[in-house]
Amino acid sequence: MSKLSNIINFIKDVISPKYCYSCKKEWHFLCPQCLQTIKKHQPYCYICKDKNAGFEVHEKCKKNVFFDKIIVYCHYRDNTIKKLIKDAKFYGRQEILDNFWLGLSNLFFENEIVLNKNNYIIIATPMHFLRKIKRWYNHSEVLAESISKKTSILYYHNMTKKIKYTKQQSKLSKNDREINLKDSFQINKKYLELIKWKNIIIVDDVISTGSTINHLAKLLKDNWANKVIWLVIASD
Protein backbone atom coordinates (compact mmCIF):
# COMPACT_ATOMS: atom_id res chain seq x y z
CA MET A 1 0.00 0.00 0.00
CA SER A 2 1.37 3.46 -0.92
CA LYS A 3 2.09 6.24 1.56
CA LEU A 4 -0.77 8.25 0.05
CA SER A 5 -3.17 5.33 0.62
CA ASN A 6 -1.99 5.06 4.23
CA ILE A 7 -2.61 8.77 4.77
CA ILE A 8 -6.08 8.59 3.18
CA ASN A 9 -6.99 5.56 5.31
CA PHE A 10 -5.74 7.31 8.46
CA ILE A 11 -7.92 10.34 7.71
CA LYS A 12 -10.90 8.06 7.09
CA ASP A 13 -10.30 6.32 10.42
CA VAL A 14 -10.22 9.65 12.24
CA ILE A 15 -13.39 10.96 10.58
CA SER A 16 -15.28 7.66 10.60
CA PRO A 17 -13.60 5.06 12.84
CA LYS A 18 -13.96 1.36 12.03
CA TYR A 19 -15.94 -0.78 14.44
CA CYS A 20 -16.20 -4.55 14.34
CA TYR A 21 -19.62 -5.54 13.00
CA SER A 22 -19.75 -8.36 15.53
CA CYS A 23 -18.24 -7.22 18.86
CA LYS A 24 -18.09 -3.42 18.20
CA LYS A 25 -14.38 -3.11 19.02
CA GLU A 26 -12.60 -0.25 17.28
CA TRP A 27 -10.13 -0.41 14.31
CA HIS A 28 -11.59 -3.33 12.33
CA PHE A 29 -14.83 -4.02 10.45
CA LEU A 30 -14.29 -7.62 11.53
CA CYS A 31 -11.71 -7.96 14.29
CA PRO A 32 -9.23 -10.89 14.27
CA GLN A 33 -10.98 -12.56 17.21
CA CYS A 34 -14.42 -12.45 15.58
CA LEU A 35 -12.97 -13.54 12.25
CA GLN A 36 -11.78 -16.73 13.93
CA THR A 37 -15.33 -17.52 15.09
CA ILE A 38 -16.88 -17.24 11.60
CA LYS A 39 -18.07 -20.65 10.40
CA LYS A 40 -15.93 -21.72 7.43
CA HIS A 41 -17.09 -23.97 4.58
CA GLN A 42 -15.55 -27.43 4.44
CA PRO A 43 -14.57 -28.68 0.94
CA TYR A 44 -17.58 -29.94 -0.99
CA CYS A 45 -18.97 -30.33 -4.51
CA TYR A 46 -21.10 -27.26 -5.20
CA ILE A 47 -23.57 -29.18 -7.36
CA CYS A 48 -24.58 -32.05 -5.07
CA LYS A 49 -23.31 -30.46 -1.81
CA ASP A 50 -21.54 -33.69 -0.76
CA LYS A 51 -18.04 -33.44 0.66
CA ASN A 52 -15.28 -33.58 -1.92
CA ALA A 53 -11.57 -32.81 -1.65
CA GLY A 54 -10.49 -29.39 -2.84
CA PHE A 55 -14.06 -28.21 -3.61
CA GLU A 56 -13.91 -30.17 -6.89
CA VAL A 57 -17.13 -30.77 -8.80
CA HIS A 58 -17.73 -34.54 -8.95
CA GLU A 59 -17.44 -36.12 -12.40
CA LYS A 60 -21.00 -37.41 -11.99
CA CYS A 61 -22.19 -33.82 -11.41
CA LYS A 62 -20.61 -32.23 -14.50
CA LYS A 63 -23.53 -32.51 -16.91
CA ASN A 64 -24.07 -28.99 -18.31
CA VAL A 65 -21.60 -27.67 -15.72
CA PHE A 66 -18.55 -25.88 -17.11
CA PHE A 67 -16.66 -24.80 -13.98
CA ASP A 68 -14.33 -27.23 -12.21
CA LYS A 69 -14.57 -26.07 -8.63
CA ILE A 70 -16.04 -23.33 -6.47
CA ILE A 71 -13.90 -22.56 -3.42
CA VAL A 72 -16.03 -20.92 -0.72
CA TYR A 73 -14.63 -19.22 2.37
CA CYS A 74 -17.63 -18.96 4.71
CA HIS A 75 -21.43 -19.11 5.08
CA TYR A 76 -23.58 -16.26 3.78
CA ARG A 77 -26.33 -17.10 6.25
CA ASP A 78 -24.09 -15.69 9.00
CA ASN A 79 -25.73 -12.30 9.67
CA THR A 80 -22.42 -10.53 10.27
CA ILE A 81 -20.97 -11.79 6.97
CA LYS A 82 -24.17 -10.88 5.13
CA LYS A 83 -24.11 -7.30 6.43
CA LEU A 84 -20.38 -6.88 5.74
CA ILE A 85 -20.77 -8.00 2.13
CA LYS A 86 -23.86 -5.88 1.49
CA ASP A 87 -22.19 -2.76 2.90
CA ALA A 88 -19.05 -3.38 0.82
CA LYS A 89 -21.07 -4.07 -2.31
CA PHE A 90 -23.87 -1.50 -2.20
CA TYR A 91 -22.81 1.21 0.25
CA GLY A 92 -19.25 2.01 -0.78
CA ARG A 93 -17.43 0.54 2.22
CA GLN A 94 -14.62 -0.84 0.10
CA GLU A 95 -12.22 -1.33 3.03
CA ILE A 96 -14.46 -4.11 4.37
CA LEU A 97 -13.02 -6.32 1.63
CA ASP A 98 -9.61 -6.16 3.36
CA ASN A 99 -11.03 -8.61 5.90
CA PHE A 100 -11.33 -11.35 3.28
CA TRP A 101 -8.62 -11.32 0.61
CA LEU A 102 -5.94 -12.91 2.81
CA GLY A 103 -8.25 -15.74 3.89
CA LEU A 104 -9.32 -16.34 0.28
CA SER A 105 -5.68 -16.42 -0.88
CA ASN A 106 -4.74 -19.00 1.74
CA LEU A 107 -7.86 -21.04 1.03
CA PHE A 108 -7.00 -21.21 -2.66
CA PHE A 109 -3.59 -22.74 -2.00
CA GLU A 110 -5.09 -25.16 0.52
CA ASN A 111 -7.47 -26.51 -2.12
CA GLU A 112 -5.54 -26.29 -5.39
CA ILE A 113 -2.22 -27.96 -6.19
CA VAL A 114 -0.28 -25.21 -7.95
CA LEU A 115 2.87 -26.49 -9.62
CA ASN A 116 3.39 -23.45 -11.82
CA LYS A 117 1.75 -20.08 -11.11
CA ASN A 118 2.26 -19.10 -14.75
CA ASN A 119 -0.47 -21.60 -15.64
CA TYR A 120 -3.02 -19.54 -13.70
CA ILE A 121 -4.77 -16.24 -14.36
CA ILE A 122 -6.92 -14.23 -11.95
CA ILE A 123 -9.93 -12.25 -13.18
CA ALA A 124 -12.89 -10.62 -11.45
CA THR A 125 -16.53 -11.33 -12.21
CA PRO A 126 -17.20 -8.52 -14.72
CA MET A 127 -19.73 -5.80 -14.00
CA HIS A 128 -21.61 -3.78 -16.64
CA PHE A 129 -20.13 -0.28 -16.87
CA LEU A 130 -23.45 1.40 -15.96
CA ARG A 131 -23.69 -0.63 -12.74
CA LYS A 132 -20.06 0.15 -11.99
CA ILE A 133 -20.76 3.88 -12.39
CA LYS A 134 -23.72 3.53 -10.03
CA ARG A 135 -21.64 1.74 -7.35
CA TRP A 136 -18.38 3.65 -8.03
CA TYR A 137 -16.30 0.46 -8.13
CA ASN A 138 -16.46 -3.28 -8.79
CA HIS A 139 -15.96 -5.02 -5.43
CA SER A 140 -14.81 -8.20 -7.22
CA GLU A 141 -12.00 -6.27 -8.90
CA VAL A 142 -10.81 -4.95 -5.54
CA LEU A 143 -10.67 -8.50 -4.16
CA ALA A 144 -9.02 -9.89 -7.29
CA GLU A 145 -6.25 -7.27 -7.25
CA SER A 146 -5.42 -7.95 -3.60
CA ILE A 147 -5.45 -11.72 -4.09
CA SER A 148 -3.18 -11.35 -7.12
CA LYS A 149 -0.63 -9.40 -5.08
CA LYS A 150 -0.74 -11.96 -2.26
CA THR A 151 -0.51 -15.06 -4.49
CA SER A 152 1.79 -13.61 -7.20
CA ILE A 153 -0.67 -14.89 -9.83
CA LEU A 154 -1.26 -12.37 -12.63
CA TYR A 155 -4.54 -10.46 -12.62
CA TYR A 156 -6.07 -9.23 -15.88
CA HIS A 157 -8.47 -6.34 -15.39
CA ASN A 158 -10.41 -6.36 -18.66
CA MET A 159 -10.09 -9.95 -19.88
CA THR A 160 -13.86 -10.42 -19.77
CA LYS A 161 -16.64 -7.85 -20.12
CA LYS A 162 -20.30 -7.66 -19.16
CA ILE A 163 -21.89 -6.35 -22.35
CA LYS A 164 -25.55 -6.69 -21.37
CA TYR A 165 -27.17 -4.72 -18.56
CA THR A 166 -29.05 -7.43 -16.66
CA LYS A 167 -31.42 -7.48 -13.74
CA GLN A 168 -29.96 -8.44 -10.37
CA GLN A 169 -29.67 -12.23 -10.24
CA SER A 170 -30.70 -12.44 -6.59
CA LYS A 171 -34.19 -11.19 -7.46
CA LEU A 172 -34.90 -13.81 -10.16
CA SER A 173 -35.94 -17.45 -10.30
CA LYS A 174 -33.43 -20.03 -11.51
CA ASN A 175 -34.97 -20.19 -15.00
CA ASP A 176 -35.17 -16.41 -15.27
CA ARG A 177 -31.51 -16.17 -14.26
CA GLU A 178 -30.52 -18.31 -17.23
CA ILE A 179 -32.49 -16.08 -19.61
CA ASN A 180 -31.18 -12.95 -17.92
CA LEU A 181 -27.55 -14.00 -18.46
CA LYS A 182 -27.80 -15.19 -22.05
CA ASP A 183 -25.15 -13.49 -24.22
CA SER A 184 -24.15 -11.25 -21.31
CA PHE A 185 -20.40 -11.81 -21.36
CA GLN A 186 -17.64 -11.27 -23.87
CA ILE A 187 -13.91 -11.95 -23.89
CA ASN A 188 -11.61 -9.10 -24.84
CA LYS A 189 -10.18 -10.22 -28.19
CA LYS A 190 -6.60 -9.32 -27.32
CA TYR A 191 -6.65 -11.98 -24.58
CA LEU A 192 -8.04 -14.89 -26.59
CA GLU A 193 -4.63 -16.48 -27.14
CA LEU A 194 -3.61 -15.94 -23.53
CA ILE A 195 -6.61 -17.90 -22.22
CA LYS A 196 -5.72 -21.09 -24.09
CA TRP A 197 -4.83 -23.96 -21.70
CA LYS A 198 -4.73 -21.65 -18.69
CA ASN A 199 -6.48 -22.20 -15.37
CA ILE A 200 -8.76 -19.22 -14.77
CA ILE A 201 -9.54 -18.09 -11.22
CA ILE A 202 -12.67 -15.93 -11.06
CA VAL A 203 -13.04 -13.87 -7.88
CA ASP A 204 -16.40 -12.75 -6.48
CA ASP A 205 -18.21 -12.10 -3.21
CA VAL A 206 -21.26 -14.40 -3.11
CA ILE A 207 -22.60 -17.38 -5.04
CA SER A 208 -26.24 -18.49 -5.03
CA THR A 209 -27.29 -20.71 -7.94
CA GLY A 210 -24.02 -20.64 -9.87
CA SER A 211 -25.69 -19.39 -13.06
CA THR A 212 -23.27 -16.49 -13.53
CA ILE A 213 -20.14 -18.57 -13.14
CA ASN A 214 -21.49 -21.30 -15.40
CA HIS A 215 -22.19 -18.86 -18.24
CA LEU A 216 -18.78 -17.27 -17.84
CA ALA A 217 -17.08 -20.65 -17.48
CA LYS A 218 -18.69 -21.92 -20.69
CA LEU A 219 -17.43 -18.87 -22.57
CA LEU A 220 -13.90 -19.45 -21.24
CA LYS A 221 -13.97 -23.18 -21.95
CA ASP A 222 -15.28 -22.53 -25.47
CA ASN A 223 -12.09 -20.49 -25.93
CA TRP A 224 -9.86 -23.30 -24.69
CA ALA A 225 -9.39 -22.45 -21.02
CA ASN A 226 -8.13 -25.53 -19.17
CA LYS A 227 -9.88 -25.11 -15.79
CA VAL A 228 -12.27 -22.55 -14.34
CA ILE A 229 -12.18 -22.03 -10.58
CA TRP A 230 -14.45 -19.62 -8.75
CA LEU A 231 -13.05 -18.17 -5.52
CA VAL A 232 -15.78 -16.54 -3.41
CA ILE A 233 -16.25 -15.14 0.07
CA ALA A 234 -19.60 -16.73 0.89
CA SER A 235 -22.39 -19.09 -0.07
CA ASP A 236 -25.38 -20.60 1.73
pLDDT tens digits, residue range 129-140? 777 777 778 889
E strand residue ranges, the chain:
69-75, 120-124, 160-162, 185-187, 199-207, 227-235
Tell me the average pLDDT across 186-210.
91
Question: Is pTM beyond 0.85 here?
Answer: yes
Which of 12-16, 20-24, 78-82, 141-145 is predicted least confidently? 12-16
Q: Could you say which architecture CATH assigns to the domain 38-235?
A: 3-Layer(aba) Sandwich (3.40)
- Pick the closest to residue 217 from 87, 95, 46 (CA basis): 46
| pLDDT of 93 | 83
Q: With a cut of 80, say whether residue 5 has pLDDT above it.
A: no
> In terms of pLDDT, which residue wins out, 14 or 116?
116
> How far is 9 from 13, CA to CA, in rounded Å?
6
Q: How is the chain split into domains, by residue range?
A: 1-32, 38-235
Tens of pLDDT, residue by residue over 75-128, are 998 999 999 998 888 887 888 888 889 999 999 999 999 999 999 999 998 877
CA 100 to chain centroid, in Å, comes to 10
List, in order, residues 6 or more apart from 83 with CB less than 8 Å away.
Answer: 21
Tell me the average pLDDT across 11-24.
71
Q: With a cut of 80, say whether residue 179 has pLDDT above it.
A: no
Q: With a cut of 70, say whether residue 14 has pLDDT above it.
A: no
Length of the chain: 236
Q: With a cut of 50, say whether residue 8 has pLDDT above it.
A: no
Burial label for 10, CB within 10 Å (0-12, 13-18, 19+), is: exposed
Give percent of the chain above pLDDT 90.
50
List, in order, residues 6 or more apart from 128 with CB less than 8 Å away.
Answer: 162, 163, 164, 165, 166
> In terms of pLDDT, which residue wins out, 122 or 16?
122
Provide Rg for the chain, Cα atoms.
18
